[in-house]
Amino acid sequence: MNDTLNNLSPLDGRYREKTQKSRANFSEYALIKARLIAEIEWLSYFLTNFKPELKDTETNSKIDELLKAIPDSLIARVKEIEETTNHDVKAVELALAEEFKHSEKVQSVIHIFLTSEDINSLSYALMLKQAHGSLLGWIEQVIEELELLAQKNKDLAMMSRTHGQPASPTTLGKEINVFLTRIKKEYASLLKSKFYAKWGGATANYNPHLLAFPGEDWVSHSKVFLKHLDIELTVVATQIEPHDYMAELFQNIQRFNTIILDLNRDIWTYISLDYFSLKMSKDEVGSSTMPHKVNPIDFENAEGNIGLANAIFSHLSEKLPVSRLQRDLSDSTVLRNIGTAYGYVEIAINSTLKGLNKLEADKKVISNDLEERYELLTEALQSFLRLEGKKDGYDQVKHLSRGKKMDKEMYLKAVEELIESDEYKKILIGLTPSKYIGLAAKLAEIK
């Protein structure tokens, strides 16, 4: 039997193949690896700047070897030690010390001047930075698909719907571009994201650092060390990095997710109106009892997973910046769920992309739906009545058209009876619903 059938979370069960990036970025394995990298990088920096006499050939070789590739055996050893210590970061320190058995002096300075939260804050920053690359890549794929869809349908006139009712014509491409421009705005914001760590010991005051090396600028050392890893220093902190940058990042992702949710619901509605057809797979089943069905399951799957992702991101954003006094432990278990939120995002975006790739606009249905809706031109008619100085122009047209379906003959009769200007009559008589799209085709191309 497949082992994944017994997994509690669908992220590692049913959706295991769809969450590979998030697993690589946020698994327990990834966290231990990030902690080891943080410890090794600090060891290297400390030896170079404060104990260069200990950085012999064997030590340098071991540091280079570990930074090049953390062996699986070392990660397994960390978990083994943790069973005894019941402290995950201490287990990292002890396992790493075993790698430097050739020198007790080197072993003695592993984890020097650090608290667990120095290592943790850097580790999560490194993991989030790596995950950010994955996230940006997914968003770029969505942008690419929507650009193609918007461009392909930029001139396809379509009846819009406000409050679910027929409204002034637009183009399908322009309506897709509404989502595209919103997504690009959030993408631009995400590109500016920075990742932070604190690095000053138990309460971030550099207490033992200053006693041992009073002449050193420890804030500068911390900045230089972290900058080497492309991480920013939170200079003023408690025992923990305050996680404000995480809250900002997660809220940014929430906004992106909400736009994708909005997109998926609109696409779902267009499919229900037959404006889009879905490319079929001959082996898929739409319904267990209705053989004819081709369901928009990818968009529905994305909608469900976005809801889960945003629920977690919302809690992370509200919880993580709050910690009692200089630190309480409640953030620790919450931080371990960051990967869960990203996992749901990964599924949602991949489902959205899969759904977008199945779409084909049904131009005939869209055009037929629009062409006989001459009541959509009453906006133009009342506007020209106003231009003629008729203050009751709106009410005149409202009396003729409200709640009614107007065909071409009825529309032309209204124009003849209500409009006095020959110039205005000529414009309105030559108008059809598909021509009444304003700047929609051009707006479909706005970047």
Active site residues: 163, 287
Both tokens of 21, joined, read: 């990036």
β-pairing, 359-361 vs 276-278, is antiparallel
Query: Which two tokens mark 369?
Result: 């739906």
Give residue for tokens 């085709």.
441
Q: Compute the radius of gyration of the chain from its Cα atoms.
A: 31
- Using DSSP bridges, classify how beta strands 196-197 and 232-233 pair: parallel, antiparallel or unpaired: parallel
CA distance 113 to 115: 7
Phi, psi at 167, each rounded to 5°: -145, 175
Residues 6 or more apart whose Cβ sits within 8 Å of residue 65? none
Taking each helix axis from N to C end, the angle separating 408-418 and 422-429, rounded to the nearest 10 degrees, works out to 170
* AA identity, residue 208: P
E strand or H helix at 342: helix 338-358
Handedness of CA 35, 41, 45, 48 (dihedral sign): positive
Residue 285: strand, helix, or coil? coil
Structural contact between residues 34 and 25, judged by C-beta atoms closer than 8 angstroms: no
196: β partners: 232
Measure the CA–CA gap between 39 and 115, rounded to whole angstroms: 11
Question: Which residues, 6+ apart, have CB-to-CB distance to 422 below 8 Å?
Answer: none
Please tell me the distance from the alpha carbon of residue 145 to that of residue 129, in angstroms, as a whole number. 25
